[in-house]
C-alpha cells in the first residue's frame, strides 16, 4: 500500500470512527433521525487541513 493510500485510509478511518462515537449516542438514545448529522456536517471542511499537515503552501495553492 502506498503512503498516500495509507494516509487517506487513516484519515477516512478516523472520520468514520469519530462520527460513530459522536453521533452514535444520539441515534441509540435519543431516537433522532439524520437531521442532527445534517445540521452539524462539517467533515469535508477539514480535508484540506488534513492534507496540508501544517504546510501552508498547500493551502495557498487551493485558494483557502
Higher pLDDT among residues 34 and 21, named by residue = 21
Residue 33 DSSP one-character state: -
Q: Parse the chain into domains and list their residue ranges.
A: 3-61
The three-class DSSP label of residue 63 is coil
Q: Which residues contact 58 (CB under 8 A, 6 or more apart)?
A: 48, 51, 52
Rounded to two decimals, the pTM is 0.44
pLDDT digits (tens, 9 = 90+) for 4-28: 899 999 999 998 998 888 777 777 7
The residue whose grid cell reads 485510509 is 9
Amino acid at each position: 500500500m502506498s503512503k498516500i493510500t495509507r494516509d487517506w485510509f487513516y484519515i477516512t478511518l478516523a472520520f468514520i470512527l469519530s462520527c460513530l462515537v459522536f453521533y452514535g449516542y444520539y441515534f441509540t438514545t435519543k431516537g433522532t433521525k439524520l437531521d442532527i448529522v445534517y445540521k452539524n456536517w462539517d467533515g469535508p471542511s477539514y480535508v484540506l487541513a488534513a492534507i496540508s499537515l501544517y504546510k501552508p503552501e498547500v493551502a495557498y495553492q487551493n485558494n483557502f
